[in-house]
């Protein structure tokens, strides 16, 4: 046992035993700790958690920049300071060593003082901090300390602050949101998440200033804040700063907390609702995934109305943290087949029709098309009716025939009636069965059979994956113009790019042979099909399957298990046209491999191939969960050699 720890135990032996420290000392490989303690009663906990310089070294003047590391595997820590005195908060200086733990990534501290006087006594610049997430709950922090945090916590990605209901006069500190906003704009460029909750403090003591525009925070994806803290006042004269003008384009989720002072005044709330409507329908934040709005429920509260064409709305019961905190909660998500572009076109249909019920809170959650997992209804929820504007209803119900065909939704699009689509699916699939090298027929079969369900399922798979969403936003294309085949040939042998171009050279094919999508009505879904089509050769390179009939059918079976596109499943029946030996090999080796690996692997549509060209191809297979099948060309070559040998033996009379 370290000397310092023994001396501390001996000094504390007449007091309450430091049980937390003893338990942690005997569990050195713990990874996550959640501890509630009295800082005044247990002095050893800061030392055992983070490690402080050895006391003897401090006294003799030797180096004090090295810290003990008693819990080397610690990755996540939550500390809650408990005391009998009401309103008591503890100085963070006593736990300064926590910031310098080499492996600690997540730190949640409850009821601590982070003010400037405390921060100036800390050794910020002497150590490297690897924290990625810092949550300060029921804490007291000012603008200068936030600057210290953003300067020295260089790896910090998530910062959450909940102000303690603490009288600032006791510490002679002045809190202003202006200082917070200046620090964020100047130093918060690496933050992906920022959460600021000031309600209890602001109601009791007041909190001047505003955070202000955050458009310079290019990495910010998740923001939680009240509208008053962000804009100071939700009501401004003409020329005001709009909500849409304060948010960065990278933002994906926005949660606007309930106003501090609107219990008896709902007029400003409608301005917030109007700004949210403008934010959604105007396309000002293209990456936005969901929005949540909180508001108080008053006894005579008017209906909170929000109805945007193409949106479903969901409602559920919820309560605030206190008994008198009563809200309305409503969730809204885009209906099947709708895109953000559709919403922008039909923004005039905002009809305001959400029910007002006692004991509920109001929230709105907006997501990209078909992302129902974010806004899915929960048990006990009430689904509200969404009305359609007259222009949309008339548009969707107009007569559609070969003589009255609607305009195309994108270049090259050919709208089809249901009869035409069914005829195309049947005719193209039958013809491609007898001639599997007719790629135009296979493409037409894929498009005709992908709607209405399967292509939407594949798009949803992309929307639920971060990489898939980036692909849908960027919409890259794969061709010899976008990929330098010469540069790919110069890559190391074991890279994805070299494997891809090597497969192209070996099989004698080009990335420019993929036909454009024509028969899928939804423009975004058309791109999903185009992306699947252009990535097909990467699947060949990853699996090593050749372009012979046996290899194509095996890869189609893999794609069917992974994507569920009907065309890929129908292609399996082409095995009936193979030779007997090929059918036997396909049924015994490649079909089981394809179904097993396709079903268990990750969605291959979500691979951003353009970013993975220099990665190790074996590492990518392992990441996706794909086992490489036996080399088909080697097996076929060996079989041909064996047949040739047997033929020569028969001709020789053996």
The answer to whether residues 615 and 496 touch, using CB atoms and an 8 Å cutoff, is: yes
Handedness of CA 107, 112, 115, 118 (dihedral sign): negative
Residue partners of 630: CB distance under 8 A and separation at least 6: 589
N residues, the chain: 654
User: Residue 63 burial (CB < 10 Å; 0-12/13-18/19+)?
Assistant: exposed
The answer to the question of whether 536 is labelled as a binding residue is yes
Q: Are strands 106-110 and 133-141 parallel, antiparallel or unpaired?
A: parallel
**DSSP-based three-state secondary structure for 344:** helix
Is 552 annotated for ligand binding? yes
> Which H/E stretch holds residue 137?
strand 133-141
Rounded distance, CA 600 to CA 109, Å?
A: 40
| Count helices and strands in the chain by DSSP H and E runs | 27, 14
DSSP assignment of 552-606: HHHHHHHHHHHH--HHHHHHGGGGGGS-HHHHHHIIIIIHHHHHHHHHHS--GGG
Tokens describing residue 1? 């046992």
Identify any residues that bridge with 34 across adjacent strands, giving them in sequence order.
Answer: 78
Tally Cβ neighbours within 10 Å of residue 86. Answer: 6
Phi/psi for 464 (5° steps) reads -85, 0
Q: Is 101 annotated as a binding residue?
A: no
- Taking a C-beta distance cutoff of 8 angstroms, is the pair 605, 462 a contact? yes
Q: Distance of CA 297 to CAs 265, 325, 332, 356, Å?
A: 11, 8, 19, 8
| Gap between the Cα atoms of 626 and 561, Å rounded | 12
Beta bridge partners of 293: 256
**Do residues 98 and 104 make contact, with C-beta atoms less than 8 angstroms apart?**
yes
Question: Helix or strand or coil: residue 488?
Answer: helix
Six-digit token pair at 96?
A: 């300064």
What is the rounded CA–CA span in Å between residue 565 and residue 451? 9
Binding-site residue numbers are: 536-537, 540, 552
Binding-site residue numbers for Zn(2+) are: 536-537, 540, 552
């Amino acid at each position: 046992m370290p000397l310092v720890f023994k001396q501390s135990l001996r000094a504390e032996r007449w007091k309450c035993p430091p049980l937390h420290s003893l338990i942690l000392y005997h569990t050195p490989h713990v990874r996550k700790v959640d501890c509630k303690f009295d800082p005044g009663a247990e002095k050893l906990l800061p030392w055992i958690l983070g490690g402080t310089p050895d006391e003897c070294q401090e006294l003799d003047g030797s180096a004090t920049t090295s810290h003990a590391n008693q819990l080397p595997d610690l990755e996540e820590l939550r500390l809650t300071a408990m005391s009998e005195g009401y309103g008591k908060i503890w100085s963070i200086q006593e736990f300064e060593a926590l910031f310098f733990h080499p492996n600690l990534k997540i730190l949640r501290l409850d009821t601590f003082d982070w003010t400037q006087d405390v921060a100036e006594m800390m050794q910020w610049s002497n150590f490297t901090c690897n924290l990625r997430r810092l949550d300060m709950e029921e804490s007291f922090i000012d603008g200068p300390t936030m600057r210290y945090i953003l300067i020295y916590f260089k790896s910090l990605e998530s910062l959450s602050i909940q102000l303690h209901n603490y009288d600032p006069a006791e510490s002679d500190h002045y809190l202003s949101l202006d200082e917070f906003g200046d620090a964020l704009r100047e130093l918060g460029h690496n933050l992906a998440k920022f959460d600021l909750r000031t309600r209890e403090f602001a109601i009791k003591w007041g909190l001047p200033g505003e955070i202000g525009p955050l458009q310079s925070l290019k990495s910010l994806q998740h923001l939680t804040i009240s509208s008053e803290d962000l804009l100071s006042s939700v009501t401004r004269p003409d020329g005001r700063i709009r909500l849409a003008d304060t948010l960065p384009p990278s933002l994906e989720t926005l949660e606007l907390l309930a106003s501090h002072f609107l219990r008896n005044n709902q007029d400003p709330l409608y301005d917030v609702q109007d700004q949210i409507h403008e934010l959604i329908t105007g396309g000002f934040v293209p990456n936005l995934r969901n929005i949540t709005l909180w508001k108080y429920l008053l006894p005579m509260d008017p209906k909170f109305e929000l109805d945007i064409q193409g949106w479903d709305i969901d409602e559920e019961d919820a309560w605030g943290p206190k008994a008198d905190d009563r809200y309305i909660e409503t969730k809204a998500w885009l209906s099947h087949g709708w895109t953000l572009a559709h919403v922008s076109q039909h923004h005039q249909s905002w009809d305001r029709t959400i029910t007002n019920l006692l004991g509920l809170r109001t929230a709105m959650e907006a997501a990209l098309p078909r992302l129902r997992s974010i806004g899915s209804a929960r048990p006990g929820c009430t689904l509200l009716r969404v009305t359609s504007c007259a222009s949309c209803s008339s548009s969707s119900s107009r007569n559609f025939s070969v003589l009255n065909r609607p305009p195309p939704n994108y270049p090259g699009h050919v709208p089809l009636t249901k009869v035409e689509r069914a005829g195309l699916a049947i005719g193209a699939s039958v013809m491609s069965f007898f001639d599997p090298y007719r790629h135009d027929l296979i493409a037409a079969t894929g498009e005709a059979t992908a709607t209405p369900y399967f292509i939407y399922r594949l798009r949803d798979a992309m929307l639920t994956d971060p990489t898939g969403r980036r692909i849908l936003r960027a919409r890259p294309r794969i061709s010899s113009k976008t990929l330098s085949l010469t540069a790919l040939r110069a890559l190391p042998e074991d890279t994805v790019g070299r494997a891809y171009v090597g497969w192209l050279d070996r099989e004698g094919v080009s990335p420019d042979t993929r036909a454009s999508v024509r028969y899928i009505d939804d423009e975004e879904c058309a791109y999903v099909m185009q992306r699947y089509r252009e990535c097909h050769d990467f699947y060949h390179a990853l699996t090593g399957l050749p372009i012979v009939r046996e290899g194509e059918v095996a890869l189609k079976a893999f794609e069917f298990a992974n994507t569920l596109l009907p065309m890929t499943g129908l292609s399996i029946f082409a095995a009936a046209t193979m030779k007997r030996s090929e059918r036997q090999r396909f049924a015994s080796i490649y079909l089981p491999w394809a179904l097993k690996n396709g079903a268990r692997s990750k969605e291959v549509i979500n691979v951003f191939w353009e970013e993975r060209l220099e990665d190790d191809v074996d590492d990518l297979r392992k990441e996706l969960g794909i086992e490489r099948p036996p080399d088909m060309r080697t097996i076929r070559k060996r079989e041909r050699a064996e047949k040739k040998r047997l033929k020569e033996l028969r001709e020789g009379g053996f």
